[in-house]
Every structure is written in structure tokens, then in C-alpha cells.
């Protein structure tokens, strides 16, 4: 049994489509303060193992790394959204005037039963931070325009977005790597 | 016995001058991702209690809340310094053009033996974020100019800084509140 620890039904649905047989469980795990998603995930898996002693565990982290901000906010993106909202982040990047390139990353961490060493699988996408456009998606989708795309993630339909989804990439690598 | 959990000898020295009899212990406690210092400290005390089951415990958190950034970085200041350095933070605030006011906060959390409910004591100082000036202090001292002062914290001598120290304020309130 592989338990995907998430409270987000959308993420679980996307992952399940790629890795059949996943079981969802919502655990309120604290996130530690780190800019490296691997460290955040490893700590979460460690904590989750105290609650779920059997089976394999999966944890996911999505982060946004803006080059002009030295890779910030990274996994701290939720606090930037909370305090500045997506449009405030775009405004910050524009006014700073040091370029708008960024990388979106989805890291999946997997802890096999009996193991203390997680395995990691990643999906990444380069893009630029732009003024908000679109109504779809959530979080920073409306200000992230993937490289080679004329639309922001917020302007893509659900199906269009899934084709280039970094979460689908990460869970795809996971499906290959673990099975 | 009151144990002040910190790896920072300077902080311990400053606190000891105000609260005699403190014992220093360095524990590598994870910081959780929260913008409210109280939540960060409560989680640290909780974790520390697992290692130190006897006596009272004290944990301190210093944070910088910039108004134009909606209160960011707050306790996340160390990551901003890590990625942008003090001068990069000052540049960001200046280019954003939404004012440069900020608040520095020091929160001390105290957990009595046998208690699970921490008490908190605070020191705060209003000021503005300016281009770096001065050679003293550390971290963001060179870009923080206290209200009513012509100097940044980085331009104050050790003794001058101690007079207005938010850490001294917080431990002063602690000394009054706990004894």
C-alpha cells in the first residue's frame, strides 16, 4: 500500500491518474522552514512515519523559484501569496527590474516501508512571471507563463495544463522509478 | 532552573545580563513555516520539551516585518538574508516604492515545568528600511534605522544598541512577568 499524504483532493486526483492504487490520507504535518524542497519533504515523511507505521508513504511539494529573488520564495510561496497575493508578487518582480524568469518545481518524496531514506522524483518548468492573466488554476497560476507558451497557467484549460503539469511529470517519474 | 535554548552566545549573554541564572543549551530544533513568531516559538518549545524534560524552558525569535511587503519576511528573515543579503532587501523595498516602514520584533517564549501553555513576552521597535550603513551588529542591522534615530542599528555601538534592544525589552518583560 502506498499512502499519499495530502489534504488536497485535486492533487490526489492528478497523482492517482498516473499511479493507480494510491490511498489518500490527510495529516496535518508542520512544514519546516527550508528553501530546499527536499528538506521540507524529508521532514514531513519523518513526521508522517510516526503516525503511519505501515506501508509506503508519499509527500509532494510544489515551489516557485524566482531568479531575480535569488530563488525565493521557493517552498515559502504560500506566505508570499498570503501576504502579497499573486499580483503583488508580479508587481515586485516587475519593479525590481532584474528579469522575470522563474522555475516551478514539483518534488515527490517516497518512503518505502522499513526505509529511512526517501527517494525523490521531480518535475520542473521554466517560465516568466507576468501580470495576472486568466481565471483558471489556483495560487500563482495566473502570473506564471511557461517558456514557449503564449498563455499563463491560469489561461490554460484543465486538460491543457495537465499536459505540461510538473506534478504529472514528477508522479510519472515516480511511477517508473518505484514500480 | 531555566534553560535558554540557543546556539547564539551573543543572545545568551544579552539575556543573562537581564535574567541572572539562565542556563544555555544548544539544541538544533527545526523551525516551522509560520509568519506568526508565536507559532514558531510554541512549536520549538514543544520539540525542546521532548529533549529536556525538567526545568523551565526559554526560546527566542527575532523577526523583521516590512509594511510594504505585507509583514514579510517576519520570522522568514533568515532566508531573505541568505538569498538577497541585507542590501538586496533594502533595494527591493526602495524599488517597490510603497514606503519603507518596518517593525522589528523579539518574542520570548517561556514554558514552565509541568506546563504545556507557553507565556510570551515581547520587545518591538518601529523603523525604516534604508540602504546599508554601518559596520556593527549582524544580519539586517545595517538596513534598519529606528524611529527617531539618525543612525542605523549597524552604526550604533554595542552599548548604544543595548539601550534600545528589542531583545533586552523582551527579556526585561520576561524577568518581571515570571519572577
3-state class (DSSP) for residue A126: strand
Q: Does B96 touch chain A (CB under 8 A)?
A: yes
| Distance, CA of A32 to CA of A19 (rounded, Å) | 27
For the entire predicted model, the pTM comes to 0.89
Shortest CA distance to A70 belongs to which of A101, A38, A41, A95? A101
DSSP of B60-118: EEEEEEEGGGTT-EETTHHHHHHHHHHHHHHHHHHHHTS--EEEEEEEEEEE-TT-SS-
Q: Does A70 touch chain B (CB under 8 A)?
A: yes
Q: Would the pLDDT of B92 be above 70?
A: yes
Q: Does A75 touch chain B (CB under 8 A)?
A: yes
Partners of A31 on chain B (C-beta within 8 Å) are 32-33
pLDDT of residue B74: 95
Answer for the pair A136, A156: CB distance below 8 angstroms, yes or no.
yes
The complex scores an ipTM of: 0.84
CB atoms within 10 A of CB A23: 15
| Distance, CA of B121 to CA of B110 (rounded, Å) | 8
- Grid cell digits, residue B162: 543595548
pLDDT of residue B179: 61
Q: State mean pLDDT over A136-155.
A: 93
> Taking a contact as any Cβ pair under 8 Å apart, which residues of chain A between 123 and 162 contact chain B?
none
Grid coordinates 534615530 are at which residue? B149
Digit-coded pLDDT (tens) for A107-145: 999 999 999 999 999 999 999 999 999 998 788 999 999
Digit-coded pLDDT (tens) for B38-85: 999 999 999 999 999 999 999 999 999 999 999 999 999 999 999 999
pLDDT of residue A179: 61
| Residue B117, CA atoms < 13 Å, CB-side half-sphere | 0
Distances (CA, A) of A3 to A28, A40, A102, A117, A121: 14, 18, 31, 17, 16
Stated as kind and residue range, the H or E segment containing B171 is helix B166-178
* pLDDT category of residue A82 using cuts at 50, 70 and 90: very high
Mean pLDDT of chain B: 93
CB atoms within 10 A of CB A25: 14
Percent of chain B with pLDDT over 70: 99
Mean pLDDT of chain A: 93
Buried b (16+ CB within 10 A) or exposed e, B80-117: bbebbebebbbbbbeebebebebbbbbbbbbbeeeeee
Q: Which of B46, B79, B96, B102 has the highest number of chain A CBs within 10 A, making it the mutation to test binding with A?
A: B79
| Distance, CA of B126 to CA of A72 (rounded, Å) | 25
Digit-coded pLDDT (tens) for A4-18: 999 988 889 889 989
Percent of chain B with pLDDT over 90: 81
pLDDT of residue A138: 80
pLDDT of residue B46: 94
| Distance, CA of B69 to CA of A122 (rounded, Å) | 31
Please tell me which of the candidates B30, B78, B92 has its beta carbon nearest to residue A32: B30
Q: Does A99 touch chain B (CB under 8 A)?
A: no
Please tell me which of the candidates B70, B76, B84 has its beta carbon nearest to residue A33: B76
Amino acid at each position: 500500500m502506498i499512502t499519499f499524504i495530502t489534504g488536497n483532493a485535486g492533487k490526489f486526483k492528478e497523482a492517482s491518474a498516473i499511479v493507480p492504487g494510491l490511498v489518500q490520507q490527510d495529516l496535518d504535518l508542520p512544514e519546516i522552514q527550508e528553501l530546499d524542497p527536499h528538506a521540507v519533504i524529508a521532514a514531513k515523511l519523518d513526521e508522517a512515519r510516526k503516525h503511519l507505521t505501515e506501508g509506503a508513504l508519499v509527500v509532494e511539494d510544489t515551489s516557485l523559484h524566482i531568479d531575480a529573488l535569488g530563488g525565493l520564495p521557493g517552498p515559502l510561496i504560500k506566505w508570499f501569496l498570503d501576504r502579497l497575493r499573486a499580483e503583488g508578487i508580479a508587481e515586485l518582480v516587475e519593479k525590481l527590474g532584474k528579469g522575470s524568469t522563474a522555475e516551478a518545481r514539483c518534488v515527490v518524496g517516497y518512503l518505502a516501508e522499513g526505509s529511512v531514506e526517501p527517494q525523490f522524483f521531480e518535475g520542473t518548468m521554466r517560465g516568466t512571471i507576468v501580470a495576472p492573466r486568466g481565471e483558471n488554476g489556483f495560487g500563482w497560476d495566473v502570473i506564471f507563463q511557461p517558456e514557449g507558451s503564449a498563455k499563463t497557467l491560469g489561461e490554460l484549460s484543465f486538460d491543457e495544463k495537465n499536459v505540461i503539469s510538473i506534478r504529472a511529470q514528477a508522479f510519472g517519474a515516480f511511477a517508473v522509478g518505484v514500480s
